[in-house]
Structure 1
Amino acid sequence: MFRFDNPIYLWLLLLVPLSAVIYLYSVRKYGRRIRRFGNPALIRQLSPMKSLRRMWIKFILSEGILLLLVLIIARPQIGSKLATNKHREGIETIIALDISNSMLAEDVAPSRLEKSKLLVENLMSRFSEDKIGLIVFAGEAFVQLPITSDYVSAKMFLDNINPSLIGTQGTDIGKALQLAANSFTPNSKAGKAIILITDGEDNEGGAEAMAKQARSKGIKVFILGIGSRQGAVIPMPDGSELKTSDGEPVKTHLNEEMCRQIAAAGQGVYVHVDNSNVADAVLGRELGKLQKGEINNVVYSDFDEQFQALALLAVILLMVDVLVLERKKS
């Protein structure tokens, strides 16, 4: 498994295009100054040793060195050792998280989506012998993280979840449940649970049937309904509010009745998520009732640093940059 141990430093990659823009601006400004000074063709004849091609080569080398340095400080690593233990017992849980625009509403602090992510992170912190998977959905559903015992990777994937991951809006809970039910480890005898976190709005239908189908496979379906019954407007990234075609603010409400019906169909439990920690306690208690089974955990227990090759390449590029002069050979 490949990862960056300090992924926050990858934001420094923005320096690469930024430096390119600054360099191109300086080249253009230099050209204007040359044209004001005299005839460019004549000036090139008066300075025959100047090489534009070499100048661009040095610039490309500098950009490559900057790129490699950023990757080095982000600490690329590859998992080198697998820790497996066939005698561990636990449960398997697939978390299906609604990331439709309505989850941006702030009737639950700091927002429905951020509260959901915090809830999932707290749940992961309780796991030790169990497996977990992540599914995100709106009008479509896809697997964000296959079922795994690698909680570090699970938290990294969780941090990157936002509504822009899915372009099709809506809340197709049925599709999310179907995908989740098919994402467990085949032939595993461990207790299985689907935890679906949603505000229940704009459901496309078929959710109850899918919950019953999951239950027929021995999978319990828990529904966490997040939001307030009074509803709230949906803020947009630019600071405005989502509005209808008539210019009226869109107000989103928690569809608690539908959430209860789906949980009942899946013989699970419906839990209302608000600004308290009640949902954490109820969910932890219900998951503790599931039968534990043999879990074949496969996780990366050790990671090898991979910066050496990048550092060597950066040194080579630096040496080439020093040897390449901007003037032509005499």
Structure 2
Amino acid sequence: MFRFAQPEYLYFLLIVPLIWVLYFYSVYKKKKNLAKFGHVKTLEPLMPDVSKYKPGTKFFLQQLALIVLVFLIARPQMGAKVETVRKQGVEIVVALDVSNSMLARDINPSRLEKAKMMLSKLVDELDNDKVGLIVFAGDAYTQLPITSDFVSAKMFLSSIDPNMVPTQGTAIGRAISLAMNSFTPDESADKAIIVITDGENHEDDAVAMAAEAAKKGIRVDVIGIGSPQGSPIPMSNESSDFRKDNEGNVVITKLNEQMGQEIAKAGEGIYVTADNTNSALRALTSQIKKMKKSDIESKVYSEYDEQFQGLAWIVLLLLLVDIFILDRKNEWMKKFNFFTK
């Protein structure tokens, strides 16, 4: 596995475009100042030792050396040894509703965006635990298999939108069923399913599925997101147009708290309503901390070999070539004329 031990140094690469802008500006100013003394073609015979291409070549070599140097100080490393590490933790699978109703904006900035922000903060609270991610609407799909790689979990979160599930609807039961089959076979670890939805279940018996999960020792917590008063559904995240029914009336989606509470009760979990505060996240985090932790295996790269040596040689070679390239024409090379007989 490849990584940078100090990736913050890669921000120095942002300096490179600025240097190029300054270089081209200096070339422009130099030509403009030279033009004050006469036409460039007329002045060229008066400057026989000035090379057109060497200054640009030297600048290119210097910039290439600078870029490689930045990668060098960021300390590239290659994973050399994989170990199975056992840590104390729990297993959590999040089932996130991505139906069109989750675009409603009765929660800022929208139900879906609020859910994603909550999950991102929840992942930050996890330590040695494992997390998986399922998205669902009219059907359910595994977005991220259960893992301890929280960086990947947050990366997948950022890309979630309703277009990921082609079948619209709200099949909470299918999501719970898929989540039950996503855990590892380890029976000693506490397991929990967190369902984040507005509760408008139209597809299956989610309460029965939650009860089945509870029988297997898997708790089902539900976060209801939205408002009981309801809100129109935008056509997309950026749209100001709203979805309408067959009669041309604007569709209003409302949080079904009763459904969420029934699912949580059957799943022996808790039901909390998400609003514009972090109260739901605090309640959920508190429940996770109460879960019984057990040994969880995860594969990690325990040793990394430094890979900077090759880059150091490249920088040295580029700088040596730059030193030996003079700004002026080479006197020895001027004796050879390859373009005349």
Identify whether the pair has TM-score above 0.5, normalized to the shorter chain: yes
- How far off is 1:53 after superposition? 2.5
Cα separation, 2, equivalents of 1:120 and 1:68: 35
Cα separation, 1, equivalents of 2:303 and 2:241: 54
Q: 1:280 aligns with which of 282, 289, 297?
A: 282
Cα separation, 1, equivalents of 2:283 and 2:5: 32
SS in 2 for 1:308: helix
* TM-aligned CA distance change 1:244 to 1:277, over 3 Å: closer
**Mapping of residues 1-330 of structure 1, within 5 Å:** 1-85=1-85, 90-95=89-94, 105=108, 114-122=117-125, 124-125=126-127, 128=128, 130-133=129-132, 146-149=145-148, 154=150, 156-157=151-152, 165=159, 177=175, 181=179, 184=182, 189=187, 192-197=191-196, 200=198, 212=209, 221-225=220-224, 244=240, 255=255, 257=257, 260=260, 263-264=263-264, 267=267, 268-273=269-274, 275-276=277-278, 279-285=281-287, 288-289=290-291, 295-330=296-331
- How far off is 1:84 after superposition? 1.5
Cα separation, 2, equivalents of 1:28 and 1:136: 55
CA contact (8 A) 1:197 1:223 kept: yes
* TM-aligned CA distance change 1:107 to 1:206, over 3 Å: closer
TM-score, normalization: structure 1?
0.65
Deviations 1:138-186 (A, max 9, x none): 999998865333xxx52x45666785x4576799776994997499366
CA contact (8 A) 1:208 1:266 kept: no
Deviations 1:230-253 (A, max 9, x none): 899xxxxxxxx967259xxxxx99
Correspondence for 1:249? none
Task: Give percent identity, aligned residues only.
Answer: 36
- How far off is 1:69 after superposition? 2.4
Deviations 1:82-104 (A, max 9, x none): 33157x67543234668987799
TM-score, normalization: structure 2?
0.63
* TM-aligned CA distance change 1:144 to 1:193, over 3 Å: same
CA contact (8 A) 2:195 2:220 kept: yes
* Runs of 5+ consecutive residues of structure 2 not aligned to the other structure: 232-236, 243-251, 332-341
SS in 2 for 1:48: coil
SS in 2 for 1:222: strand
Q: What's the C-alpha RMSD, in Å, of the aligned pairs? A: 5.1
For these two proteins, the number of residue pairs brought into alignment is 307
* TM-aligned CA distance change 1:133 to 1:112, over 3 Å: closer
* TM-aligned CA distance change 1:139 to 1:321, over 3 Å: farther
Cα separation, 2, equivalents of 1:207 and 1:81: 47
* Runs of 5+ consecutive residues of structure 1 not aligned to the other structure: 233-240, 247-251
* TM-aligned CA distance change 1:278 to 1:134, over 3 Å: closer
- How far off is 1:136 after superposition? 8.0
Higher CA-based Rg: 2
SS in 2 for 1:52: coil
- How far off is 1:16 after superposition? 1.8
CA contact (8 A) 1:89 1:294 kept: yes
Cα separation, 1, equivalents of 2:94 and 2:205: 17
- How far off is 1:121 after superposition? 0.9
Correspondence for 2:334? none
- How far off is 1:310 after superposition? 2.1
